[in-house]
């Protein structure tokens, strides 16, 4: 993900996007194709409208409300000052789940061909995590999705899963293929499943 966004640079090999070597694509063109959503997306101090319009400057209010509705935070902002609701720097006046839903709403507004989700649903409440994952699933029907996650249940429907350990790709395949291999992925998945079952029982 860092290489695709040109935050890091290749030491060997080649990455192509649409058959074009990445180094031949300028940054502006790259940002017209890809949107990145991390676990700690940045927001400027200012209005909700201003922060959303960073993704699409000419967006109409109807479009802004539409993406907020998709992420199920429309009612919250309607109960505040609407699109004129003031956000503190980094949206510190919102909960972690609200910030991440807002980050995804902004990404949806951008409407890019490729979406990178880097732990986009980590360390937030279960309701927000479920809403975000459902919206990502919808995007897979029309967009190319690169999803980085330690929560394996959220990526088991991916076309291709790459399992990394100690900085190396150890396995690749579909969820079913990796489960049949009974390797690293299988052990991690089963461990997480047991922990979640245990936590649910304790609750």
pLDDT in tens, 73-116: 999 999 999 999 999 999 999 999 999 999 999 999 999 999 99
How many CA atoms, within 13 angstroms, populate the side-chain half-sphere of residue 164? Answer: 6
Q: CB neighbours of 102 closer than 8 A, spacing ≥ 6?
A: 43, 48, 51, 52, 68, 71, 73, 91, 94
Query: Is this model's pTM higher than 0.75 or not?
Result: yes
DSSP-based three-state secondary structure for 46: strand
pLDDT in tens, 138-167: 999 999 999 999 889 889 999 999 999 998
């Amino acid at each position: 993900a860092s290489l695709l966004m040109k935050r890091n640079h290749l030491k060997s090999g080649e990455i192509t996007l649409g058959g074009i070597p990445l180094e031949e694509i300028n940054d502006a063109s790259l940002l017209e194709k890809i949107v990145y959503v991390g676990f700690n997306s940045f927001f400027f101090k200012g209005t909700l409208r201003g922060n959303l319009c960073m993704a699409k400057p000419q967006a109409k209010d109807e479009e802004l409300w539409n993406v907020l509705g998709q992420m199920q935070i429309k009612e919250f902002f309607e109960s505040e000052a609407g699109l004129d609701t003031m956000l503190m720097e980094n949206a510190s006046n919102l909960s972690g789940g609200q910030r991440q839903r807002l980050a995804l709403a902004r990404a949806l507004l951008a409407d890019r061909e490729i979406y990178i989700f880097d732990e986009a649903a980590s360390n937030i409440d279960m309701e927000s995590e479920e809403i975000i994952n459902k919206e990502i699933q919808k995007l897979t029907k029309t967009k190319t999705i690169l999803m980085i996650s330690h929560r394996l249940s959220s990526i088991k429907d991916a076309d291709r899963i790459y399992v990394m350990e100690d900085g190396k790709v150890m396995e690749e395949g579909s969820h079913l293929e990796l489960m049949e291999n009974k390797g690293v992925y299988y052990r991690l998945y089963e461990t997480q499943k047991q922990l979640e079952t245990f936590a649910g029982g304790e609750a």
